[in-house]
Amino acid sequence: MSTPIPRETSGLITRAAFWRSLLFAAGAYASVLVFGPLALLTFLLPLRARFGFVSQWARFSLWWLEKTCHLGFEVEGRENIPATAAVVMCKHQSAWETLALQTVFRPQTWVLKRELLWVPLFGWGLAALAPIAIDRRAGRRAMDQVVRQGADRLARGIWVVVFPEGTRVAPGERGRYRIGGAVLAEHTGSPVVPVAHNAGEYWPRRGFVKRPGTIRMVIGPPIPASGRAAAEILADVQGWIEGTVTRIST
């Protein structure tokens, strides 16, 4: 049986984590002030060059996170990544995966709610990646947009990243998996690369303090889409992601 941490020691650890998290936040916000305006200048460049620039901010943020909060990560299953761009469907627990995915699937763009593009500075960087920015209230028109623009990005060799739950979900919980990414895979025949991780245990979706440790990201074998219905594809994606998240949870 492990010896419980004395309350006084636990309090010191919590305070240290708070100050480390504050230092991380200060550096992250300062970097946005630099990268945001510069991202506007990249609109004159090809998309791959724009991604190369914007993704440097993600790399800096991950480096800064490890230096300040002692929070790193490891990636398992890189051998499962196809040689050509595909649809990526990832568990959504925190802001961390939006950074880490940029270091694995290059170049990439996201399916996201269009309101994110209105965020000053941060939204400029997102816009530089030619995202598929949808109005969730648009229904069928939004789905058509995902299929049309997603097919264009895939044909250009750009990975399309989808968070099927649509919003961040706390560890141990499961959101409703939306079918948009699977419909894109069905229409294009592109396989789906499922991604699971346990980032929410270290970087909470609504928490400020980051826990030190090592986040595990697991990339699964591509799930075939050719000749299959979207509902069938989505069921396989959800089953693999949720099963893997349960396996790697601390």
pLDDT for residue 116 is more than 90: no
Which residues fall within 8 angstroms of residue 246, CB to CB, at 6 or more apart? none
pLDDT for residue 61 is more than 60: yes
Provide the token pair at 34: 């630099």
Q: What is the pLDDT of residue 3?
A: 47
* Cβ pair 134, 112 in contact under 8 A: yes
Q: What is the pLDDT of residues 13-55, one digit of tens each?
A: 588 999 999 999 999 999 999 988 888 888 888 888 989 998 9
Q: What is the pLDDT of residue 7?
A: 46
Which residues fall within 8 angstroms of residue 210, CB to CB, at 6 or more apart? 17, 20, 21, 24, 65, 69, 71, 202, 203
Q: What is the pLDDT of residue 102?
A: 94
Q: Between 12 and 34, where is the model more confident?
A: 34
pTM: 0.90
Strands of the sheet with 71-76, listed across from one edge: 71-76, 213-219, 192-197, 87-90, 159-162, 108-113, 132-134
pLDDT for residue 125 is more than 70: yes
Percent of the chain with pLDDT over 70: 95
* Cβ pair 195, 182 in contact under 8 A: no
Of 94, 236, 234, nearest to 164 by C-alpha is 234
Confidence of residue 199 (pLDDT cuts 50, 70, 90): very high
Confidence of residue 123 (pLDDT cuts 50, 70, 90): confident
Q: What is the pLDDT of residue 93?
A: 96
pLDDT for residue 5 is more than 60: no
Confidence of residue 235 (pLDDT cuts 50, 70, 90): very high
How confident is the model over 189-203, as a mean pLDDT? Answer: 97
Confidence of residue 6 (pLDDT cuts 50, 70, 90): very low
Which domains, from first to last, does the chain contain? 7-248 (3.40.1130)
pLDDT for residue 69 is more than 50: yes
Q: What is the pLDDT of residues 129-177, one digit of tens each?
A: 889 988 877 778 889 999 999 999 999 999 999 999 989 999 999 999 9
